[in-house]
A = this chain, B = another copy of it.
Amino acid sequence: MTFYNALEKHLIDFHVVTHKKGETIYRADEAPRSLYIIKDGLVGLFHISENGKETFLRVFGKTQILGHRSLLAYENYHANAVCLQDTEFYQISASEFNQLLEKDNSLLRSITESLAKDLRVSELRISDLNDKSSYLRVVESIVYLKNKYPDQVWTRQEIAEFAVCTNETVTRTLTKLEKMNLIQKQGRDFSLNNTEGLLNLTNEDF
């Protein structure tokens, strides 16, 4: 049972809201007032550090939920949620969400499962930063982002913020990968020729 399956039957009750590409749904340090379920579109979660460096923490597509972490932690948001495309979503107020949790016991369990998986993913990213060269992190980032959302034209900057490096390092990596015939550039976009080959690369290949 996924998060969305558990929620789906209730969604008819809630308002649909839309935001244009580039608009911010919520900002770090705000108190959470709602939960958002994406009906269609794409949203990124970005943290901006004191020195202004931006880190791309998570990406949310169709049927994914955002804002739940803060509500369930009883904390303010720790990052900014920004639309990467025009996006439609169902908005559920905190009190409506709490009513749903009481009405439906499986809902909390499936949200917890999702958070527990996100925690693994996040902790393994820390390990990757310890272990993998920036080139290799770019490779893994494009495999993740481009395979999951093939129609999105990811900018070098977005990939860099996801891989935790600079846009120049992303450019240099993509140039090398094209020479290796593992990707194909098309204007600002690109496509993956060989996901297996990309995932078999190691630190030594660069």
Contact = CB atoms under 8 A, between A and B. Distances in A.
Given A124-B47, A126-B125, A130-B53, A113 B72 contact: yes
A92 interface: no
Contacts of A119: 69, 73, 115, 118-119, 122
Given A108-B109, A109-B108, A55 B116 contact: no
Contact of A123 (B57, B109, B120, B203): B57
A132 B40 CA distance: 36
A164 B126 contact: yes
Interface string A106-140: 00110111011111101111111111100000000
A177 B49 CA distance: 24
Interface residues of A, number: 42
Q: How many identical subunits does the complex contain?
A: 2
Given A49-B131, A72-B112, A108-B109, A55 B126 contact: yes
A19 interface: no
A151 interface: no
A76 to B, nearest CB: 10
A127 to B, nearest CB: 4
Contacts of A161: 130
Given A112-B112, A126-B164, 15 more contacts: A49-B128, A55-B130, A57-B126, A68-B116, A73-B113, A73-B119, A75-B116, A108-B109, A108-B112, A115-B115, A115-B119, A122-B126, A125-B126, A126-B129, A129-B164
